[in-house]
């Protein structure tokens, strides 16, 4: 940064402090990643000042020719990467991705069945502290406490008694693979939509390390700054083969043009060399995770790791 030290030394100083902090600490935060310099460069580019409400080719502001190209590029990459029919990429967050899908097919007050926050779910899946709980009526399923896995029988029973309009799979803290096919089957049995929030695992899905929710889900949401290794951003996709009504009816107008950084993770995963690097780093993460687990196990915490399949592990305290 050449201008900031002169124009605003206070902010510049704080950025330096944060860079140093990152260099000298190990934050084990599953919701974070370290984006490469090129992503940060793209994120701080001239696009960050562009007003571009609407979608490519249909904007409320003038001068969107390159913003349209950029957004179309991001959409094309996301579609290719995840096998989607539609994609909506925005410079926002995972919470707004979930809200966009909720509001695209539900009415205020409709019922949604999601995973409990205390069993690994996310705030935006209807926690009382989240705006989502003010708009919709949530009920939650949990894990079987013996197996520490989703209890699909319980999900099925709750779906029958609650009759939700939407069922959500995906979590902030669940180290196992989710049986998307089974969840979709349960959703279909009560005529509910099935949404998967793959915020945490999108990079692993993109690299083919674990199976993804396409083609079972009606909607999939993700963030770009966790395992996809990009800057802040998010996407919603409608998988290829999704029900026709979902293809028509997607995404209320809350968008603006994505910054170029949002295109980067997709490019990285689609092209060849970074794909390999992503796979290697996925294996490395597993190996390092085991090393880190040893002291945790000695301390007597119950760690959900046996046969772990994602890059998260959980320590009961
Ligand atoms: C499963 C899940 N969904 C959504 C989010 C929200 O993402 P954001 O903080 O970008 O709104 C998170 C955050 O970690 C998450 O774990």
* Cα–ligand 1 centroid distance for 159 (angstroms): 24
For residue 249, pLDDT over 60 is answered with no
Answer whether 226's CB lies under 8 Å from 19's CB.
Answer: no
| Residue spans of alpha helices (H) in 25-151 | 37-43, 65-82, 94-105, 131-135
Instruction: State which of 99-103, 188-192, 276-280 shows the largest mean pLDDT.
Output: 188-192
Which tens digit of pLDDT belongs to each residue from 125-163? 999 999 999 999 999 999 998 888 999 999 999 999 999
Residue 26 confidence (pLDDT): 85
- Look at 82-86, 138-142, 244-248, 288-292 and tell me which has the smallest mean pLDDT: 244-248
pLDDT bin (cut points 50, 70, 90) of residue 285 is: low
Residues lining ligand 1, judged by CB closer than 6 Å?
31, 93-95, 122, 124, 170-172, 197, 199-200, 223
What angle is formed at CA 308 by the lines to CA 307 and CA 311, rounded to 5 degrees? 155
Which residue owns the Cα nearest ligand 1 atom 13? Answer: 31
**Candidates 28, 124, 175, 230: which one to mutate for ligand 1, based on the most atoms within 8 Å of Cβ?**
124
Atom of ligand 1 minimally distant from the CA of 92: 10
Selection from 274, 282, 275, 208 nearest residue 38 by Cα: 274
Find all residues with CB under 8 Å of 317, minimum gap 6, and list them.
Answer: 301
Beta strand 193-197 pairing with 219-223: parallel
* Cα–ligand 1 centroid distance for 102 (angstroms): 15
Residue 270 confidence (pLDDT): 46
For residue 198, pLDDT over 90 is answered with yes
pLDDT bin (cut points 50, 70, 90) of residue 208 is: confident
Pseudo-torsion of CA 74, 243, 172, 96, nearest 10°? 60
* Cα–ligand 1 centroid distance for 33 (angstroms): 13
Task: Look up the pTM and report it.
Answer: 0.87
Over residues 260-275, mean pLDDT:
52
- Look at 16-20, 21-25, 57-61 and tell me which has the smallest mean pLDDT: 57-61
Full set of structural domains in the chain with CATH: 46-272 (3.40.640.10), 282-316 (no CATH)
* Cα–ligand 1 centroid distance for 63 (angstroms): 32
Atom of ligand 1 minimally distant from the CA of 125: 3
Q: What is the DSSP letter of 317?
A: -
pLDDT bin (cut points 50, 70, 90) of residue 117 is: very high
Atom of ligand 1 minimally distant from the CA of 198: 1
Give kind and range of the element (H or E) at residue 159.
helix 152-162
pLDDT bin (cut points 50, 70, 90) of residue 290 is: low
Answer whether 193's CB lies under 8 Å from 217's CB.
Answer: no
């Amino acid at each position: 940064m050449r201008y900031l030290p002169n124009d605003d030394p206070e902010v510049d100083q704080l950025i330096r402090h944060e860079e140093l902090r990152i260099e000298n600490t190990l934050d084990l935060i599953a919701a974070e990643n370290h984006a490469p310099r090129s992503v940060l460069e793209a994120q701080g580019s001239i696009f960050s000042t562009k007003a571009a409400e609407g979608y490519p080719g249909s904007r409320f502001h003038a001068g969107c020719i390159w913003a349209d190209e950029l957004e179309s590029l991001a959409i094309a990459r996301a579609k290719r990467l995840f096998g989607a029919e539609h994609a909506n990429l925005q410079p926002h967050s995972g919470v707004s991705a979930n809200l966009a899908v909720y509001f695209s097919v539900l009415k205020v007050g409709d019922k949604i069945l999601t995973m409990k926050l205390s069993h690994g779910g996310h705030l935006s899946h209807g926690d009382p502290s989240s705006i989502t709980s003010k708009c919709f009526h949530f009920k939650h399923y949990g894990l079987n406490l013996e197996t520490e896995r989703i209890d699909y029988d319980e999900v099925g029973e709750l779906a029958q008694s609650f009759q939700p309009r939407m069922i959500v799979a995906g979590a902030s803290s669940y180290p196992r693979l989710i049986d998307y096919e089974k969840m979709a089957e349960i959703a279909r049995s009560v005529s509910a939509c099935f949404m998967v929030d793959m915020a945490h695992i999108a990079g692993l899905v993109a690299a083919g390390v674990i199976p993804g929710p396409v083609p079972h889900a009606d909607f999939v949401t993700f963030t770009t700054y966790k395992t996809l290794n990009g800057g802040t951003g998010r996407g919603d996709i409608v998988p290829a083969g999704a029900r026709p009504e979902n293809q028509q009816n997607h995404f209320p107008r809350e968008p603006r043009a994505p910054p170029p950084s949002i295109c980067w993770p997709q490019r990285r995963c689609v092209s060849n060399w970074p794909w390999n690097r992503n796979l290697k780093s996925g294996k490395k993460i597993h190996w390092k995770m085991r090393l880190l687990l040893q002291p945790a196990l000695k301390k007597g915490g119950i760690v959900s790791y046996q046969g772990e399949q994602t890059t998260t592990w959980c320590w009961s305290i």
